[in-house]
C-alpha cells in the first residue's frame, strides 16, 4: 500500500484527495524546513495552550502533543479547537500513539498527523483509511524496511540517544526515500545538533530538553519561547550549506 491519490470518479472527490495529499506534502516539507519537531504533554489545558503559543511565537508551525496521560485527548481536542483561530498555519499532531483506538480518537479530534514510538500495521491501516500522515518510530533496519513497505516517507528514530548519528549515516543510503527524525537524547548544544544534521536527518524531535518540566510547572512561557527561538536559529544556521 502506498500514499497515492486514488483516481476518484468525481471532480469533487479528486479535489478532496488532492488537498489531502497536498497537506501531507506541506507537513513533510515544513518539517524539513523547520528542522525541529517540538513535543510535549501537560494535563492542564491553559498551561498547554500557553506552551503552544510560546512555540508558535518562536516560529514553530509544526508541533506534536503527546498522548501521555488520561487528560491527553481532552486537552488535545481543546488545543485543536483554538489552534485554527489563534495559531494560523499551525499543524498540530498527536504523539505517543500506540494502538488503533488512540489513533482513531485523535484523528477524530482533528490531528493533522500522528507519531508513534514503534511501528504497527493496525495504526498504519487506521491512518491510511483517513489519509492522515503517520510517522512511526523505528529502532532497527528491519523496522525501517517495514515502514518502507508501507510507503512511509518520515520515520522517527527512537530512542535517538541509543542509535546516534552514526546509525543514520550507515543506513541513509539504503533508504533514500525515507527522511529521519531522531527523538530522545537530542541535545540543545550546536555540536550535538550539527552531528545529527551532518548525518542527514530531516529534523530533530525535542521534548524535555526544549520544554523542561520546570518551565512547564512554573509556566515560564517567555523562557520556552527564547530557548525555542535559539534552537531554531541554530538549526537554520547549521543547515545552511555555507556553514559546512
pLDDT single digits (tens) 196-216: 999 999 999 999 999 999 999
Averaged pLDDT score across all residues of the chain:
91
DSSP state of 158: S
Is 58 inside a domain boundary?
Answer: yes
Is 6 inside a domain boundary?
Answer: no
Query: Looking at residue 15, what is its pLDDT?
Result: 40
Q: Rounded mean pLDDT of 110-125?
A: 98
Is 2 inside a domain boundary?
Answer: no
Is 156 annotated as catalytic? yes
Is 85 inside a domain boundary?
Answer: yes
Q: Is residue 84 within 8 Å of 55, Cβ to Cβ?
A: no
Is 244 inside a domain boundary?
Answer: no
Catalytic position from the list 4, 23, 64, 131: 64
Q: Is the pLDDT of residue 242 over 70?
A: no
Is 81 inside a domain boundary?
Answer: yes
Dihedral over Cα of 211, 217, 61, 38: its sign: positive
Helix 221-239 and helix 190-199: axis angle, to 10°?
A: 50
Query: Looking at residue 23, what is its pLDDT?
Result: 87
Query: In CATH, what number is assigned to the domain containing residue 161?
Result: 3.20.20.70
Count the domains in the chain.
Answer: 1
Q: Rounded mean pLDDT of 32-37?
A: 97
Rounded Cα distance, 126 and 139, in Å: 22
Q: Is the pLDDT of residue 239 over 90?
A: no
Catalytic position from the list 153, 156, 220, 225: 156
Is 158 inside a domain boundary?
Answer: yes
Is 47 inside a domain boundary?
Answer: yes
Which stretches of 27-184 are assigned E, i.e. beta strand?
36-40, 62-66, 91-95, 113-115, 133-135, 137-138, 154-157, 179-182
Which residues span the domain enclosing 26?
Answer: 11-237
Query: Looking at residue 213, what is its pLDDT?
Result: 97
Q: Is residue 216 within 8 Å of 42, Cβ to Cβ?
A: yes
Is 64 annotated as catalytic? yes
Amino acid at each position: 500500500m502506498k500514499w497515492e491519490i486514488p483516481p476518484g470518479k468525481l471532480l469533487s472527490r479528486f479535489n478532496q484527495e488532492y488537498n489531502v495529499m497536498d497537506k501531507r506534502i506541506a507537513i513533510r516539507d515544513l518539517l524539513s524546513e523547520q528542522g525541529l519537531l517540538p513535543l510535549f504533554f501537560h494535563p492542564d489545558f491553559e498551561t498547554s495552550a500557553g506552551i503552544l503559543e510560546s512555540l508558535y511565537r518562536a516560529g514553530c508551525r509544526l508541533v506534536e502533543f503527546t498522548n501521555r496521560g488520561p487528560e491527553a485527548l481532552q486537552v488535545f481536542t481543546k488545543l485543536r479547537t483554538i489552534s485554527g483561530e489563534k495559531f494560523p498555519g499551525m499543524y498540530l499532531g498527536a504523539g505517543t500513539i500506540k494502538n488503533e483506538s488512540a489513533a482513531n480518537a485523535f484523528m477524530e479530534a482533528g490531528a493533522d498527523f500522528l507519531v508513534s514510538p514503534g511501528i504497527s500495521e493496525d495504526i498504519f491501516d487506521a491512518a491510511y483509511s483517513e489519509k492522515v500522515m503517520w510517522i512511526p518510530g523505528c529502532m532497527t533496519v528491519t523496522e525501517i524496511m517495514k515502514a518502507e513497505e508501507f510507503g512511509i516517507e518520515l520515520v522517527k528514530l527512537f530512542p535517538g540517544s541509543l542509535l546516534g548519528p552514526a546509525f543514520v549515516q550507515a543506513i541513509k543510503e539504503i533508504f533514500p526515500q525515507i527522511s529521519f527524525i531522531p527523538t530522545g537524547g537530542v541535545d540543545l548544544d550546536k555540536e550535538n545538533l550539527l552531528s545529527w544534521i551532518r548525518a542527514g536527518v530531516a529534523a530533530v524531535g525535542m521534548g524535555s530538553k526544549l520544554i523542561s518540566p520546570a518551565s512547564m510547572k512554573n509556566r515560564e512561557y517567555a523562557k520556552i519561547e527564547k530557548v525555542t527561538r535559539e534552537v531554531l536559529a541554530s538549526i537554520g544556521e547549521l543547515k545552511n550549506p555555507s556553514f559546512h
